[in-house]
Structure 1
Amino acid sequence: MNKIITQLPEIKLVGITTRTSNAAEFNPDTAKIKSMLQRFFADNLQDKILNRKNPGKIFAVYTNYDSDENGEYTYFLGEEVTTFENVSQGFEELTIPVQNYAKFTSNPGQIPTVVIDMWQKIWQMDNTTLGGKRAYIADFEIYDERSHDHNEAVLDIYIGIKNENI
């Protein structure tokens, strides 16, 4: 898992959401993300998003945190758009503000194992190792052409970090 510190401009996304927590996601009876992912891809929801900036580049965003990784958050699944004009019914808009990030790129691995392993390593990091104090505004995973092979997937996880200069 490689890490760099980077800043990204504002990102406009359209997709679907659910409210959950890590505790809920580790319990098969209360997990929501897996069924949301299945619905997103089975119903080809990404193809119903208008004004897609990079078709096929999926954002899985963790936002609206109650506290930190131990509290509830909103899980958003969708794609970046050029404009919020004509958003289809059933979809929600999300704007991620300009933010600094610790960007982690995985080694090739099987989904979901590679994702879970990355998050567990990130949760163990102190602020120095992470590259800054977590902002808990928006963190996200990006799934693109590198993650199409679910047995050898490579993905990026962006962890928002605080910066007083933004």
Structure 2
Amino acid sequence: MKVSYVKNLMLQGISVRTNNENEKNEETQKIAPLWAKYDEEHIFTKTLNKANNTSFYGLYLNYESDVNGDFDAMVAVEVTKAKNNAIVIENKKYLVFKKEGELPDVSIELWKEIWEYFEKNSDYERIYGIDFEKYSKQDEVEIYISIK
């Protein structure tokens, strides 16, 4: 885990409103179907002004409150111009967690570690701004948690 600053990151994709309670149940979860829709509808190929990298992102934003409230989830790629539903992250401070393993299990495991970390640790205060997962390799995830 390390502290990092994201200076100018523009991301564009598709989103859905959900909460962690919905995501525990296969019948009510929305994030896995969102990733499937992104793939099945070839959203990547339809996205204009993509940056020259192969990373995919899972964003969590517009938090109603905290880990228990509703939030928007988005599947996205980096773009060079902010248009339509693009999200722009400028000058934000993050605590970055990284883990290797088989997807999507490694992401789920890392989120559990993050929730536990913030329950037991007060070194950093989570602000529920824009959090995101970055997938640059097939067997690795970095999760950026917005902090004060």
State the TM-score, normalizing by the size of structure 2.
0.92
Could you say if the C-alpha distance between residues 130 and 8 of structure 1 is closer, same or farther in structure 2, counting changes exceeding 3 Å?
farther
Structure 1 stretches of 5 or more lacking a match? 148-152
Using the TM superposition, give the Cα deviation of residue 44 of structure 1 relative to its aligned residue in structure 2, in angstroms: 1.7
1:142 aligns with 2:134: yes
Question: Once the two structures are aligned, what percentage of the paired residues are identical?
Answer: 31
1:115 matched to which residue of 2?
107
Matched residue count: 148
Measured against aligned partners, the alpha-carbon deviations of 1:27-73 in whole angstroms (never above 9, x if no partner) come to 11111111111111122211111111134211100000000111100
- Separation in 2, partners of 1:134, 1:48: 34
Structure 2 stretches of 5 or more lacking a match? none
1:133 matched to which residue of 2?
125
Measured against aligned partners, the alpha-carbon deviations of 1:118-163 in whole angstroms (never above 9, x if no partner) come to 001100113884751011111100112x12xxxxx1110000101x
2:69 matched to which residue of 1?
71
- Separation in 2, partners of 1:50, 1:130: 41
- Separation in 2, partners of 1:130, 1:58: 30
1:46 matched to which residue of 2?
44
1:97 match: secondary structure? strand
Letter in 2 for 1:93: A
2:18 matched to which residue of 1?
20
Could you say if the C-alpha distance between residues 28 and 125 of structure 1 is closer, same or farther in structure 2, counting changes exceeding 3 Å?
same
Letter in 2 for 1:126: F
Could you say if the C-alpha distance between residues 75 and 142 of structure 1 is closer, same or farther in structure 2, counting changes exceeding 3 Å?
same
Using the TM superposition, give the Cα deviation of residue 25 of structure 1 relative to its aligned residue in structure 2, in angstroms: 0.6
State the TM-score, normalizing by the size of structure 1.
0.83
- RMSD (CA atoms): 1.7
**Greater strand proportion:** 2
